[in-house]
Amino acid sequence: MRAFLVTSHDSSPTISDIAKPVPTEGEVLIAIKACALNFADLLMMKGTYQDTPALPFVLGMEIAGYVEALGPNTTGPAIGTRVVVFGGQGGLAEFGCFPAERAVALPASMSFEHAAAFPVAYGTSHVALDYRAALREGENLLVLGAAGGVGLTAVEIGKLMGANVIACARGKEKLEVARRAGADHLIDAQEEDIRIAVKNLGGADVVYDPVGGEQFKAAFRACRPEARILPIGFASGDIPSIPANHLLVKNLTVMGLYWGGYLAFAPTVTTNSMQTLFSWYDHGKLKPHVSNTLPLDRADEACELLRTRKSTGKVVVTID
């Protein structure tokens, strides 16, 4: 089968012919139809992600397709079921074997492209805003990187939860994407002082930050007393330090959020979250934004769209 294979952290992945995998006990073999990319994939290519697999490995964390075979003593999902899986790796290929317990059946209304774009972006934002930060109706939610893969879902979910959503992104085009997702206020990170702009809107009760760096510092200074700050990632490449004395003075709370971690130590958190999200999708309340769809033989271009930040929402690779 064809797969986008990483053989070295010093060179680019390539489309390679490798053996089709065979499911072992507790696994399902999935005929993959779509795989969404994440910033974490870029880090894996360099070997700097916290969960980078041993070489060689196939990129692609979020997978959608249908069950083709079950491993020994594995009871389901049934062959032919349309599913989505957070596999952590292995998605940019024609087939892949994944734990059966992670395979979630799709709503009939959900396409493979939307399904692949769903788990990390929507799961991260929902667990962050609902389970971790307990976002309340009427609060000011500041979303940094608001037109990116996770940021855009935070805008959408924050609005569904009744927050006053302040979206921060670079440039009018990206801000327009955030506005269409439900943002109440827009801040252009290229043109405006984030701290002053947020303070003029009353300050932030919750900060959702997949960017880090200078934007984190500005948002931190714009927090209201008892605000909750959610570091989601560091797309800027700069991991900020947090002045503990400022936490004390304003009674601030910083809440780390690594969605994938819950799969290991508290899987019911992600399961319950996904059930809520699928229900919202089925009722037309969520509309995944896939800005770019490319075939497997152009997976390198798909990665470049993320690297250069030319995409909005999610980038999805389709497999024929």
Q: Percent of the chain having pLDDT more than 70?
A: 100
**260 — pLDDT class (breaks 50, 70, 90):** confident
Which domains does the chain carry? 2-118+288-318 (3.90.180.10), 121-260 (3.40.50.720)
Is the separation of the CB atoms in 237 and 213 below 8 Å? yes
What pLDDT is stored for residue 51 in this prediction? 85
As a whole number, mean pLDDT of residues 96-111 equals 93
Is the separation of the CB atoms in 280 and 286 below 8 Å? yes
Candidate from 172-181, 186-195, 288-297, 305-314 with smallest mean pLDDT: 305-314
What pLDDT is stored for residue 273 in this prediction? 93
As a whole number, mean pLDDT of residues 148-158 equals 94
pLDDT digits (tens, 9 = 90+) for 239-250: 999 999 999 999
Q: Is residue 275 scored above 90 in pLDDT?
A: no
What pLDDT is stored for residue 76 in this prediction? 86
As a whole number, mean pLDDT of residues 296-300 equals 97
Structure tokens at 93: 């290929």
Helix spans in the chain (H): 39-46, 112-116, 119-126, 149-160, 172-180, 194-200, 213-221, 244-250, 259-265, 267-282, 299-307
SS3 of residue 293 by DSSP: strand
Candidate from 35-39, 126-130, 259-263 with smallest mean pLDDT: 259-263
What pLDDT is stored for residue 117 in this prediction? 93
**313 — pLDDT class (breaks 50, 70, 90):** confident
pLDDT digits (tens, 9 = 90+) for 175-227: 999 999 999 999 999 999 999 999 999 999 999 999 999 999 999 999 999 99
Is the separation of the CB atoms in 123 and 132 below 8 Å? no
**235 — pLDDT class (breaks 50, 70, 90):** confident
SS3 of residue 49 by DSSP: coil
H/E segment holding residue 290:
strand 290-295
Q: Is residue 271 scored above 90 in pLDDT?
A: no
Q: Percent of the chain having pLDDT more than 90?
A: 88
Residue among 168, 264, 179, 257 at smallest CA distance from 218: 168
What pLDDT is stored for residue 229 in this prediction? 98
What pLDDT is stored for residue 267 in this prediction? 86
**132 — pLDDT class (breaks 50, 70, 90):** very high
Total-model pTM: 0.85
Structure tokens at 311: 């995409």
| Mean pLDDT score of the chain | 95
Q: How far apart are alpha carbons 229 and 206 in whole angstroms?
A: 6
